[in-house]
Structure 1
């Protein structure tokens, strides 16, 4: 999915959205100069480069990915005049193959936007949208005749309106930045989980087992991108619930055994403003105190999604012998699938083409030491899974979503998260 906020948007004053031919034409007419995230190209890359030869297209993509992402626009001359290109000669598969062959590691998430002229000029353009890469630095290798047929292996990057090559200290810094980003992403997920846990324990009474799921894009949405409106946030939650219903129907033979969907059942889809986020919950407002199952949904402006669901509330009928810390496995499964669907719909709305990292954990108040007791459905009635393990703690589980996840990938991610927790009770995703 192409990025929705680029140099063209910022220069022209456009809101986030797809890059259009009209935007390119206006930028050309206003003589927008090249920069580290915009490169005008007059002609398409040669159709048949010599195998092993230095590949200029791969170099340009790597340079953008190694810097902060950007646009390569084919069909605009060095003098910033619209000249157009023949879109019939654009071969997406071949361009992608060049990136896989000539770059190490390859750059993923590159989009090819074929924009037909809308002004009657016939001067079509190709926009190659390159995201900033979390796997930078990317190296380009091949041989160059101008270097007397020497094989070279360099990491290109954009410097203002030019492409240069990293020196050794810059490469070392790029690797440190990569590892730091990975560590920071893990720390950010943990911070979201911990903040939510502290909030839940401060609001709930008695011992509870809470499912907390945090999902964070590997490239968070920049602060300059306008946040969703309240109505847009409501629409995201609504669409997430509908998609979750479809995902559960395709993943489980009898999804109705899980009961009603949690978010539409226990929330009014009435999100309120929070700290750079929208918050929808049936807790936290004393005037609207409820004895229903506690549910929390947060849609952060940077693309992060956090959900929390009380798994102990009415997990067993009151006539059942007392269990200190029951965990409803059907509610856990439903909550995980609903969260995955919500994460996906939120990413689509933000037009974010980045992978999503997910972390799911069961949180209990420390110091009590009660055993987590799994509760399953037996002929439609909740019962303690006598054959299941009853651990005092459960390790967090992780999964991820690719930038272009389909329903199959969403089900696989939800299943991985849910099973990661259920397997620690000795249970499968389909409890008896």
Structure 2
């Protein structure tokens, strides 16, 4: 998925959006020079020989990914003139294969944008959009004749308008930065979960089982990218709810397992501004107190999504003996699927080509000593699963989503996350 903000947008003064042929043509006409995030290429990458031989395309992609990401634009000469290429000769599967064969680790999220000429010139171009990589440094290996025909294993990077190779101290620094990014991402996810947990538990007048799910891009959206408008945030929520219903129907084709949907029934999709986020909730406004299940949804400007839902609310009929912390498995499952679908729709709207890390926790007010009691449906009626475990604490569950997740991948990620919690009760998503 191509990024929505590139050097072309910045130079031309365009708002975020897809790169177009007109943008490339205008940049060429205005002689936009190369930089560490832009490389004009006259001809398409040459057909690669056998694996193990030097691959110039892989080198160029690794250099961009090791720096800050950027564009390789084929069909523009070194003196910045439009010469065009034959789009019929573009084989993005072959290009992707070269990256997997020649780079370690491979660079993910590279997109290939074919742009036919719209001015009648017939000078088509190919834009290869390389994202900044959270897995940098990427190493290129192969036989290099200009290096006395010996095998090389180097980490290329962009320096202004040129490509160079990292020295030992630069490689060491790149690895430290990678590990620091990973630690910072984990810390940020922990902070989101902890802040939301503290918030909703503080709003609960009596002990309840709260499910908190956080989904955070491993590469957050830069602050320069404009935040979603309120109407766009509403649209993300609507599309997320619709997608979640479809995913649930495919994953659990048993009507009695489907719990109440989180967003359509419990929220009016009326988000309000928060601290660099949109917040939709039926709590926190005393004048609009409700007897409905407590729900909180946050769409952060950096691509993070956080949800919280009071699972214990009306989990059992009034005639049922009192259970301090009931945890209805259908509501838990549907809430997790809702969050995964919402995070995916949010990512699509922001045009973020990045994996998403997921974390789900089940919490109640500290010091209660109460046990979580799983609730299942038996003949269409909610009952406590007496045969299941009833722990006092539940470990956090983790999962992730690939950058270009299809519905099957979304189902797998949501299932993995929900089962990470349910398995601790001895339950599965599907009844046995």
User: 4+ residue runs of structure 1 moved beyond 3 angstroms?
Assistant: 48-51
Q: Secondary structure at the match of 1:398?
A: strand
**2: distance between equivalents of 1:98 and 1:239?**
36
Q: Contact 1:272–1:280 (CA<8 Å) still a contact in 2?
A: yes
Q: Deviations 1:323-373 (Å, cap 9, x if unpaired)?
A: 111111111011011111111111111111111110011011111111111
Q: Which residue of 1 is the match for residue 157 of structure 2? A: 157
**2: distance between equivalents of 1:51 and 1:43?**
21
- The 5-angstrom pairing of residues 211-290 of structure 1 reads 211-255=211-255, 257-290=257-290
**1: distance between equivalents of 2:50 and 2:368?**
69
2:131 corresponds to 1:108: no
**2: distance between equivalents of 1:346 and 1:154?**
37
Q: Contact 2:20–2:115 (CA<8 Å) still a contact in 1?
A: yes
User: Structure 1 stretches of 5 or more lacking a match?
Assistant: none
Q: Contact 2:51–2:102 (CA<8 Å) still a contact in 1?
A: no
**1: distance between equivalents of 2:142 and 2:27?**
34
Q: Which residue of 2 is the match for residue 325 of structure 1? A: 325
Q: Contact 1:376–1:431 (CA<8 Å) still a contact in 2?
A: no
**2: distance between equivalents of 1:105 and 1:11?**
32
Deviates more, 1:108-117 or 1:246-255: 246-255
Deviates more, 1:39-48 or 1:109-118: 39-48
**1: distance between equivalents of 2:256 and 2:350?**
31
TM-score scaled to structure 1, two decimals?
Answer: 0.98
**2: distance between equivalents of 1:44 and 1:160?**
22
Q: Deviations 1:131-186 (Å, cap 9, x if unpaired)?
A: 11111100111122111112111100011111111010110011111111111111
**2: distance between equivalents of 1:272 and 1:11?**
33
Q: Secondary structure at the match of 1:416?
A: helix
Q: Deviations 1:245-284 (Å, cap 9, x if unpaired)?
A: 1111111122464343121101011000000000000001
Change over 3 Å in CA distance of 1:399–1:255 after alignment to 2: farther
Q: Which residue of 2 is the match for residue 188 of structure 1? A: 188
Q: Which residue of 1 is the match for residue 347 of structure 2? A: 347
Q: Secondary structure at the match of 1:362?
A: strand
- The 5-angstrom pairing of residues 24-39 of structure 1 reads 24-39=24-39
- The 5-angstrom pairing of residues 196-211 of structure 1 reads 196-211=196-211
Q: Which residue of 1 is the match for residue 395 of structure 2? A: 395
Q: Contact 1:248–1:255 (CA<8 Å) still a contact in 2?
A: no
* Residue 48 (structure 1) shift: 3.9
Q: Contact 1:3–1:352 (CA<8 Å) still a contact in 2?
A: yes
* Residue 25 (structure 1) shift: 0.5
Q: Which residue of 2 is the match for residue 9 of structure 1? A: 9
Q: Deviations 1:293-343 (Å, cap 9, x if unpaired)?
A: 001110000000000010111111222212111111111011011111111
2:126 corresponds to 1:131: no
- The 5-angstrom pairing of residues 162-177 of structure 1 reads 162-177=162-177
Q: Aligned Cα RMSD in Å?
A: 1.2
